[in-house]
Amino acid sequence: MKNILLLVHQDAGQEARLKVAVDLTRALRGHLTCIDITPFPVVFDQGMSLAPAFILDEGKREEVNKVDLQRRIGREDISWNWDDLRDDFIPALIEAAKNADIIVLNRKLDTSARPNMRSITSSVLMHTNALVVAVSEHANGMQLDCPVLVAWDGSAQASLALERALPLLKHASLVTIFQLGDLPEASVTAQDAVEYLQRQKVPVQIEIAPATKEIAAEICLAASRVGATYCVMGAFGHSRLREAIFGGVTRAMLEKATLPLALAH
pLDDT tens digits for range 92-112: 999 999 999 999 999 999 898
CATH number where 233 lies: 3.40.50.620
- Whether the Cβ atoms of residue 157 and residue 236 lie closer than 8 Å to each other: yes
* 149-160 residue pLDDT tens: 999 999 999 999
- Contacts (Cβ under 8 Å, ≥6 apart) of 265: 125, 126, 128, 157, 160, 234, 235, 236
Does 70 reside within a domain? Answer: yes
pTM, entire model: 0.90
Q: CB-side exposure of 139: number of CA atoms within 13 Å?
A: 32
CA distances to 91, 145, 203, 219 from 170, in Å: 32, 9, 9, 21
Please choose, from the candidates 148, 125, 131, 139, the residue with its C-alpha nearest in 3D space to the C-alpha of residue 230.
148
Residues 181 and 113 placed together within one structural domain of the fold: no
- Whether the Cβ atoms of residue 21 and residue 118 lie closer than 8 Å to each other: no
Give the Cα separation of 161 and 264 in Å (integer).
5
Residues 207 and 106 placed together within one structural domain of the fold: no
Residues 153 and 122 placed together within one structural domain of the fold: no
- Whether the Cβ atoms of residue 94 and residue 226 lie closer than 8 Å to each other: no
Residues 108 and 20 placed together within one structural domain of the fold: yes
Check residue 86 and give its pLDDT.
Answer: 87
Give the end-to-end CA distance of the chain in Å, rounded to a whole number: 22
- Contacts (Cβ under 8 Å, ≥6 apart) of 29: 1, 2
- Whether the Cβ atoms of residue 177 and residue 150 lie closer than 8 Å to each other: yes
Structural domain boundaries enclosing 185: 147-264
Give the Cα separation of 100 and 80 in Å (integer).
13
Does 140 reside within a domain? Answer: no
Does 250 reside within a domain? Answer: yes
Tally of structural domains, the chain: 2
Give the Cα separation of 122 and 80 in Å (integer).
26
Check residue 83 and give its pLDDT.
Answer: 95
Residues of the chain with pLDDT under 50: 43-45, 48, 51, 53-55, 238-246
Does 142 reside within a domain? Answer: no
